[in-house]
Amino acid sequence: MPPPPHHHRSQSAVTRFIRPEEIDALLEPWVPDAEDRRFLTRCLVEEGPLHHRGANFVLLRLLGELSRAVASGPERPAPGPGLPVPMRLPPHLRPDGEDDAVYPIRLPERAVERLAPRGSRDFDAIVDCLADGPPQHAVANVLMATILDDLLRRSGR
Amino acid sequence: MSFFAPGLEDAFRTAAAELGMCSASRLFVREAASDGPDAVAELSDRLGRPFPVLDAVAAAALEGAPLRGVDPGEVLATLAGLRRLLVAGFEADFLDALVRALSGEVRVGLVRTAFLEGDWERIADNYAGRLELVEMAAFAGWAGPRSGLLTFLYGVEGAVTHVAPAWLRVAGDDVRPIFRELVGWDVLGRPMSLYPRWLTEVPAGSFTRLA
């Protein structure tokens, strides 16, 4: 008999379908450093609430499938200028340098510019929404925006 | 007849506060061993239950395992590429060896929290400016994609290990994704056989690197 609609599956049922190495492979075109990828992969599918780990894996893998289906060759994406994805720190603990407390992935400005002109209030608000929050949100948002922007670019948009 | 003067437990507690539980145990076992295995056995018998790390170090000595110098090579490999290393928990023998081996370009911090309060300034002074003391309220300022958190493990047994409670105060769910590495360095090399008072059990799999 199937479980009721809101029955929660066990923890092992969720972690079993998550394959971190597939997320690592998905990141590779945009994050060349293997240790950076390992860190981001952990943030995406191995930390935080279980349902986020599972959902991130599913959505990113599906985007990866789509990306492979659309790709015409081994062309390496050129994401263009990117914006930093800051870690969530208490406000009084400001980082020493530009890359001190940011995740090793950047939000492509071009993805945001598809929806709002650079420098506009909307542009800034979109960036804030995508890059804010713990990494199971922020890094996932940025990676999805990166892949979607790449797909649109390769579709001639 | 006893090998030891009165006040042995107080002396050990003081040493453990300044050196760390395992490093103090190594010191006391080494000194006792110079009087022979009976002295080590008495040390273990008198202090083993209140200090189970000492019990484990003494047990290894009584089994004939020599107390070796600390080789930081394995843990050093886990820290490759990091620019900042923040340590929670203190073990003088091990941190001494690690700080000596680390590149001078790596900042090293020690979170000021411990189960026995030592003299923090004196502890830091032993590192000639290489070790920065970091308050609990400020440790997240060390976060980053080239930052690591390290603590000392007291034996790994299957899926679990034991750490200083300071680790639980530092490595919460909100902190885990802002440090690239969460490193556990097993300084004991064997599980404790007595109740691990002073320490806390955590999953060994909660670390990104084990050494």
Contacts of B44 (CB under 8 A, 6+ apart): B54, B55, B58, B59, B62
User: Would residue A75 count as lying in a domain?
Assistant: yes
Write the ipTM. Answer: 0.82
- Above 90 in pLDDT, residue B68? no
User: Would residue A9 count as lying in a domain?
Assistant: no
Candidate from B138, B173, B208 with C-beta closest to A93: B138
User: Would residue A134 count as lying in a domain?
Assistant: yes
- Above 90 in pLDDT, residue B168? yes
> Which candidate, B138, B90, B143, places its Cα nearest to that of A104?
B143
CA gap B139, A91 in Å, rounded? 13
Placement of tokens 């002109």 in the chain: A117
Residue A47 and residue B177: Cβ atoms within 8 Å? yes
CA gap A88, A82 in Å, rounded? 19
Candidate from A39, A47, A88 with C-beta closest to B145: A39
CA gap A29, A26 in Å, rounded? 7
Q: Which residue of A has its CA nearest to B173?
A: A48
pLDDT digits (tens, 9 = 90+) for A68-125: 888 765 455 676 889 999 998 887 886 666 568 999 999 999 999 999 999 999 999 9
- Above 70 in pLDDT, residue B50? yes
Output the CA–CA distances (angstroms, integers) from residue B154 to A111, B23, B73, B197, in the order listed: 49, 11, 18, 12
- Contact between B178 and A87 under an 8 Å Cβ cutoff? The reply is yes
- Above 70 in pLDDT, residue A35? yes
Q: Look up residue B47 and give its two tokens.
A: 């202090």
Contacts of B2 (CB under 8 A, 6+ apart): B42
Q: Look up residue B19 and give its two tokens.
A: 């050196």
CA gap A12, A116 in Å, rounded? 42
Question: Would you state the pLDDT for residue A156?
Answer: 82
Looking at residue B200, what DSSP letter applies? E
Q: Look up residue B1 and give its two tokens.
A: 């007849």
* Confidence class for position A8, pLDDT limits 50, 70, 90: confident
Q: Identify any residues that bridge with B182 across adjacent strands, giving them in sequence order.
A: B149
Q: Which residues of B touch A (CB under 8 A)?
A: 80-81, 138, 140-141, 143-146, 173-174, 176-178, 180, 208
Averaged over A35-59, what is the pLDDT? 96
- Above 70 in pLDDT, residue A141? yes
- Above 90 in pLDDT, residue A24? yes
The CATH architecture that domain B73-210 belongs to is: 3-Layer(aba) Sandwich (3.40)
- Above 80 in pLDDT, residue A1? no
CA gap B170, B111 in Å, rounded? 9
User: Would residue A4 count as lying in a domain?
Assistant: no
Looking at residue B88, what DSSP letter applies? E
Task: State the residue range of the domain holding A112.
Answer: 17-90+98-154
Residue A93 and residue B174: Cβ atoms within 8 Å? no
pLDDT digits (tens, 9 = 90+) for B76-134: 999 999 999 999 999 999 999 999 999 999 999 999 987 788 899 999 999 999 999 99
Pairing of β B84-88 and β A82-86: unpaired
pLDDT digits (tens, 9 = 90+) for B126-157: 999 999 999 999 999 999 999 999 999 999 99
Backbone angles phi, psi at B126, to 5 degrees: -65, -10
User: Would residue A5 count as lying in a domain?
Assistant: no
- Above 70 in pLDDT, residue A5? no
* Measured torsion, CA atoms of residues A6, A10, A14, A16, in degrees rounded to the nearest 10: -150
Mean residue pLDDT across chain B: 95
Question: Would you state the pLDDT for residue B1?
Answer: 82
Question: Would you state the pLDDT for residue A98?
Answer: 59
Candidate from B141, B145, B173 with C-beta closest to A102: B145
Q: Look up residue B157 and give its two tokens.
A: 């047994």
CA gap B161, A153 in Å, rounded? 49
Instruction: Give chain A's domain count.
Output: 1
- Above 90 in pLDDT, residue B14? yes
Q: Identify any residues that bridge with B201 across adjacent strands, giving them in sequence order.
A: B162
Question: Would you state the pLDDT for residue A7?
Answer: 73
Pairing of β B131-134 and β B200-203: unpaired
Element containing residue B100 per DSSP (H, E): helix B92-101
Question: Would you state the pLDDT for residue A99?
Answer: 65
Collapse the DSSP code of B39 into the 3-class scheme (helix H, G, I; strand E, B; otherwise coil) and give the result: helix
User: Would residue A7 count as lying in a domain?
Assistant: no
Question: Would you state the pLDDT for residue B138?
Answer: 93
Interface probe for A, chosen from B107, B142, B179, B209 (most Cβ of A below 10 Å), is B142
* Confidence class for position A14, pLDDT limits 50, 70, 90: confident
Question: Would you state the pLDDT for residue A2?
Answer: 66
